[in-house]
């Protein structure tokens, strides 16, 4: 049994850290201040293979596994809380296809997605509430050889800038909640970059954190999707969504962990420099112990996350293979714990900086703002605790 990262994984971490420091960090705070989307981030991620890590080699991906994806996301998020939202949203959007699509659908969509040529997004959440899919009303009605999709999805990451979307739509409202919806894949853009007829983007969210992320309302108005682009079987969306989230949650944990690591490093450096009452504040026990607790929390979250990723990456994504309660629990535990740690660590990093921590000239307040949403999206931490408690 090996309890260390492999040489390849350590090399990946070093390579991504270099990319993050040199290509992503410059401009992070200016873009956050201006709430400006950074299109160059997609190019940086794609050109360095960071949109391909988990995808099968047969479709042009790296097939490096979930733990590699986690390590890369951690390093990206160490310098910017937003950039991981692009790659996590991409993987989230593609997972339903990897999990449930037939070979024809895979061949149509995965080569572009796996190489990062096509950015991906997943339209699930609606105004009735992201936690409870029972109220979802986006409808897909069969007309001949195609489905007409109508409805609205909210808070969708990459909803404007992606090329391919998967969408969760009700196909038979009379069926029980777990059987009434179906997943479809569709191309969002015409060759000239305009949206295809029937798809548009509505409200763009103005957010506390992740301010440079593309978080928008997806509007479906008679979107025509060929029946052959159904992902899995009719009525299978709930099962596909649950399995999708099982595999995607560790990546959210990695965003939280990297963001916390970045805040922690800033806090330690500041605590060694800032002299109050005649000595650096790290030598005042109140601050020294706070930093010690942050170190403990970060390393604990990292170990749980790496364990969860190691467990999950060995499992079949195939929709016909069910995960055990213990396997599902790892996914939820690492997401819940790492994102709670992310919030606690970044809040304490602000505390270490004192009044400067609260000001935008210093880096930690952004990290605290970026940390919050990670306790909310991809299943809030209340929902994670619900999932975990049900497996006990």
Residue 312 CB, nearest approach to ligand FAD (Å): 20
CA 357 → CA 240, 289, 369, distances in Å?
42, 18, 12
Q: Environment class of residue 82 by beta-carbon count within 10 Å: exposed (0-12), middle (13-18) or buried (19+)?
A: buried
Rg (CA), the chain: 21
Minimum CB distance to ligand FAD smaller for 66 or for 156: 156
Per-residue DSSP letters for 261-330? Answer: HHHHHHHHHHHHH-EETTEEGGGSHHHHHHHHHHHHHHHHHHHHHHHHHHHHHTS---TTSPPPHHHHHH
Q: What is the rounded distance in angstroms from the CA atom of residue 321 to the CA atom of residue 331? A: 16
Residue 79 CB, nearest approach to ligand FAD (Å): 19
Residue 35 CB, nearest approach to ligand FAD (Å): 13
Minimum CB distance to ligand FAD smaller for 142 or for 207: 207
Residue nearest to ligand FAD (CB): 130
* Residues of this chain that bind ligand FAD (CB under 6 A): 89, 122-125, 129-131, 155-157, 207, 210, 215, 373, 376-380, 382-383, 386
**Closest C-alpha among 345, 341, 335, 338 to residue 387:** 335
Q: For residue 123, what are the β-bridge partners?
A: 167
Compute the C-alpha angle 176/93/53, nearest 5°: 135
Minimum CB distance to ligand FAD smaller for 124 or for 282: 124
CA 294 → CA 216, 265, 280, 305, 379, distances in Å?
34, 10, 18, 16, 25
Task: State both tokens at 57.
Answer: 């080699």
Strands 199-204, 181-187: parallel, antiparallel or unpaired by DSSP?
A: unpaired
Residue 251 CB, nearest approach to ligand FAD (Å): 12
Residue 2 CB, nearest approach to ligand FAD (Å): 34
Q: What CA dihedral angle connects 85, 178, 317 and 187, to 10 degrees?
A: -50
Residue 199 CB, nearest approach to ligand FAD (Å): 15
Minimum CB distance to ligand FAD smaller for 209 or for 357: 209
Minimum CB distance to ligand FAD smaller for 122 or for 220: 122
Minimum CB distance to ligand FAD smaller for 6 or for 127: 127
Q: What is the rounded distance in angstroms from the CA atom of residue 309 to the CA atom of residue 314? A: 9
CA 59 → CA 121, 141, 191, distances in Å?
18, 31, 21
| Residues carrying an active site annotation | 378
């Amino acid at each position: 049994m090996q309890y260390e990262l492999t040489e390849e994984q350590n090399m990946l971490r070093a390579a991504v850290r270099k990319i993050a420091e040199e290509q992503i960090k410059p401009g992070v705070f200016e873009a956050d201040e201006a709430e400006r989307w950074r299109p160059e981030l997609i190019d940086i991620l794609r050109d360095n293979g960071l949109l391909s890590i988990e995808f099968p080699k047969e479709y042009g991906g790296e097939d490096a596994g979930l733990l590699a994806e986690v390590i890369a996301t951690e390093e990206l998020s160490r310098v910017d809380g937003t950039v991981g939202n692009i790659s996590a949203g991409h993987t989230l959007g593609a997972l339903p296809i990897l999990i449930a699509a037939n070979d024809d659908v895979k061949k149509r969509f995965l080569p572009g997605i796996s190489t990062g040529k096509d950015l991906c997004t997943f339209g699930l959440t609606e105004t009735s509430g992201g936690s409870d899919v029972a109220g979802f009303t986006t409808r897909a009605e069969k007309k001949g050889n195609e489905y007409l999709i109508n409805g609205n999805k909210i808070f969708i990451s990459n909803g404007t800038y992606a090329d391919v979307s998967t969408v969760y739509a009700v196909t038979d409202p009379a069926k029980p909640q777990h059987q009434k919806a179906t997943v479809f894949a569709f191309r969002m853009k015409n060759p000239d970059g305009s949206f295809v007829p029937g798809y548009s983007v509505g409200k763009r969210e103005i957010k506390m954190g992740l301010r440079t992320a593309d978080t928008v309302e997806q509007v479906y108005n008679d979107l025509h999707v060929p029946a052959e682009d159904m992902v899995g079987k009719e009525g299978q969306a709930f099962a596909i969504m649950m399995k999708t989230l099982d595999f995607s949650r560790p990546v959210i944990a990695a965003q939280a962990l990297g963001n916390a690591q970045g805040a922690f490093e800033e806090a330690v450096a500041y605590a060694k420099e800032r002299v109050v009452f005649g000595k650096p504040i790290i030598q005042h026990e109140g601050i020294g112990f706070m930093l010690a607790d942050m170190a403990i929390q970060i390393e604990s979250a990292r170990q749980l996350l790496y364990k969860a990723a190691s467990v999950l990456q060995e499992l079949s994504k195939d929709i016909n293979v069910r995960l055990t309660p213990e396997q599902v629990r790892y996914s939820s535990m690492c997401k819940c714990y790492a994102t709670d740690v992310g919030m606690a660590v970044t809040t304490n990093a602000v505390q270490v900086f004192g009044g400067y921590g609260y000001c935008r000239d210093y880096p930690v307040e952004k990290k605290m703002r970026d940390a919050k949403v990670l306790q909310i999206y991809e299943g809030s931490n209340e929902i994670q605790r619900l999932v975990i408690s049900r497996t006990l």
